[in-house]
Amino acid sequence: MASQVLVAANRGPLSYALDADGTLSSRRGGGGLVSGLSAALAAQPEALWICAALSDADREAVRRGVSEPGVRMLDIDPEVYDDAYNGIANSVLWFTHHHLYDVPREPVFDAAFRRRWDSYTAYNQAFAEALAEEAAEGASVLVQDYHLALVPGALRELRPDLRIAHFTHTPWASREFLDMLPDDIRSQLVWGMLGADRLGFHTWGWADNFISGATMDDVRGVASAFFPRDGQSGVHHRRTTADGSGYGEKRFTAVTQYPLGVDEEDLRTLAHRPEVDDKLAALRAEVGDRRTIVRVDRTELSKNVLRGLLAYRELLTVHPEWRGRVVHLASAYPSRQDLEVYRAYTASVRELAAEINEEFGTEDWQPVLLSVQDDFARSLAAYRLADVALINPVRDGMNLVAKEIPVVSEAGCALVLSTGAGAYEELRGDALTVSPYDVSATAAALHEALSMPPAERAERTKRLAAAATALPPAAWFTAQLDALRG
Ligand code: G6P
């Protein structure tokens, strides 16, 4: 049966593992997109989620016809998928939007890049075709993230009757970084996105970056202007015809912010399951009556885990009074380990944590408890135990952890938050804010956070939690769907 509401995202709500005896088991996917979208879709039982098979086990599930209701996994050729996901989405687009390039060496746009870009285009086309196949007449399609930036344009070609939205869960690159892409690639990227009727970002900052990039003079064939219409920002555009002799249809793409928040009740329920209680008891036994500084991230370059550890080391050096009285609970669970740069980063995180433990640890005190397992229950237990939350990304679309910890921390927590997080726009008033690069300022903020009087901490946490829950996933999704349906 054709669907009225469809979402498309690279990662699905679950992924499969194949045991030695050939049994398939499923588990929840990681990262902010999956947690937000899964929560949103719980209230949309009719919706169809189209995602990619990410691994051999997922492909096996597709072949065996194993699936969950409301989910369709696409079995894309593994080489095409690898080039599109690792080669372009995570090595080029992710680095461009997060400004992560080590510029003396990167980026390099050569023949190998062109081959990968062709795969990225094919992979986007596969999503567009699956959506075109599954969508009812006039259906609403909500495409997610940088993996699928070309889908809106490709889908509009196939099915002009559909209402198409795209939401970006990452930042959008500043003009300088967007400008690094080869001209024709930048143009394809922007035109792919402009195929949508509506584009969503977590903050106005990222939305403005998109508008400014899309209206750059040299994005080929774009005759565009940007001005608010009915209080709505966006881009007017007309594409030059293939022979360059004129312009095609004039269209408007609205560009809006939808700052994803968390659902207080759901999160509290999750955080108080017996499994989490057990993990909490175990953590309490390890930590004793010491204060805790908590962080939970994928081991992701943009999360800035290394400078966080350096700041903790500086705290213990400059404020020796905290030695033996604080523990840094750092969860940095594995992510994107197919990429060498992520494996090296993960190794550096482990080394630095070990160095700090070596330098300051005593017989009965381990300064850093690093967990590199993807253990959701343990992460929630750490949230509950948090006295201080350390969220210091260099650049991050939103950062839901910054919103989750204040909601579940039991004694209220002081939030140390960098200016690079999208969440900074909403939480800055009650956080201790730092530049992500300034290790000394971060160390000083950690000291201030640990020293904050309990009453002030409780007050700030209350306001942080209120801001964090302003737009929970279901409302975030419905707002976009309603706007799309006009
Ligand atoms: C970010 C991206 C998501 C992605 C998640 C986890 O939040 O915006 O699209 O799913 O990271 O990354 P992964 O590569 O494991 O899907």
What is the distance in A from the centroid of ligand 1 to the CA of 129? 23
Q: How far apart are CA 308 and CA 401, in angstroms?
A: 15
Which residue shows structure tokens 């330098």?
359
Q: How far apart are CA 439 and CA 433, in angstroms?
A: 12
Coil/strand/helix, residue 331: strand
* pLDDT tens readout for residues 137-149: 999 999 999 999 9
Which residue's CA is the nearest one to ligand 1's atom 5?
31
pLDDT at 267 over 80: yes
Other CB atoms closer than 10 Å to residue 71's CB: what's the count? 15
* pLDDT tens readout for residues 92-122: 999 999 999 999 999 999 999 999 999 999 9
Q: How far apart are CA 422 and CA 201, in angstroms?
A: 10
Q: In the chain, count of helices (H) and strands (E)?
A: 19, 16
pLDDT at 244 over 80: no
Q: How far apart are CA 457 and CA 464, in angstroms?
A: 10
pLDDT at 22 over 70: yes
What is the distance in A from the centroid of ligand 1 to the CA of 295? 18
Q: Which atom of ligand 1 is the closest one to the Cα of 85?
A: 14
What is the distance in A from the centroid of ligand 1 to the CA of 207? 19
Which residue's CA is the nearest one to ligand 1's atom 11?
31
The set of protein residues with a Cβ atom below 6 angstroms from ligand 1 is: 11, 30-34, 145, 169-170, 335-336
Percent of the chain with pLDDT over 90: 86
Closest CA to 297 of 371, 211, 190, 203: 371
Q: How far apart are CA 211 and CA 332, in angstroms?
A: 34
What is the distance in A from the centroid of ligand 1 to the CA of 192? 20
Q: How far apart are CA 70 and CA 48, in angstroms?
A: 5
**Among 66-70, 191-195, 307-311, whose mean pLDDT is lowest?**
66-70
Our mutation pick for probing the ligand 1 site, out of 38, 81, 145, 167, counting the most ligand atoms within 8 A of Cβ, is 145
Tokens of 329: 């609970």
Q: Which atom of ligand 1 is the closest one to the Cα of 30?
A: 6
Average confidence score pLDDT of the chain: 94
DSSP H helices, 78-110, are: 78-82, 94-98
Which residue's CA is the nearest one to ligand 1's atom 14?
336
pLDDT at 250: 84
| Predicted confidence band of residue 43 (pLDDT cuts 50, 70, 90) | confident
Q: Which atom of ligand 1 is the closest one to the Cα of 335?
A: 15
Q: Which atom of ligand 1 is the closest one to the Cα of 32?
A: 7
Q: How far apart are CA 473 and CA 471, in angstroms?
A: 7
What is the distance in A from the centroid of ligand 1 to the CA of 482? 25
pLDDT at 245: 78
Percent of the chain with pLDDT over 70: 97
What is the distance in A from the centroid of ligand 1 to the CA of 32? 7
Tokens of 309: 């550890």
Instruction: Evaluate whether 136 touches 4 at the Cβ level (below 8 Å).
Output: yes
φ, ψ for residue 65, nearest 5 deg: 75, 20
Q: How far apart are CA 407 and CA 465, in angstroms?
A: 5
Which residue shows structure tokens 């302003």?
470
Which residue shows structure tokens 């992701």?
300
Which residues of 318-442 form beta strands (DSSP E)?
326-333, 368-371, 388-391, 414-418, 432-434
H/E stretch holding 360 reads helix 340-360
pLDDT at 427: 98
For the chain, how big is the Rg over CA atoms in Å?
23
Which residues of 372-456 form beta strands (DSSP E)?
388-391, 414-418, 432-434
Q: How far apart are CA 131 and CA 7, in angstroms?
A: 9
- Taking residues 160-185, what's their average pLDDT? 96
Pairing assessment for the beta strands 414-418 and 234-240 based on DSSP bridges: unpaired
What is the distance in A from the centroid of ligand 1 to the CA of 155? 23
pLDDT at 226 over 70: no
**Among 94-103, 240-249, 393-402, 413-422, whose mean pLDDT is lowest?**
240-249
Q: Which residues contact 285 (CB under 8 A, 6 or more apart)?
A: none
pLDDT at 173: 98
Q: Which atom of ligand 1 is the closest one to the Cα of 144?
A: 9
What is the distance in A from the centroid of ligand 1 to the CA of 153? 22
Q: How far apart are CA 145 and CA 249, in angstroms?
A: 26
Q: How far apart are CA 287 and CA 372, in angstroms?
A: 18
Which residue's CA is the nearest one to ligand 1's atom 6?
31
Q: Which atom of ligand 1 is the closest one to the Cα of 90?
A: 14
pLDDT at 31 over 80: no
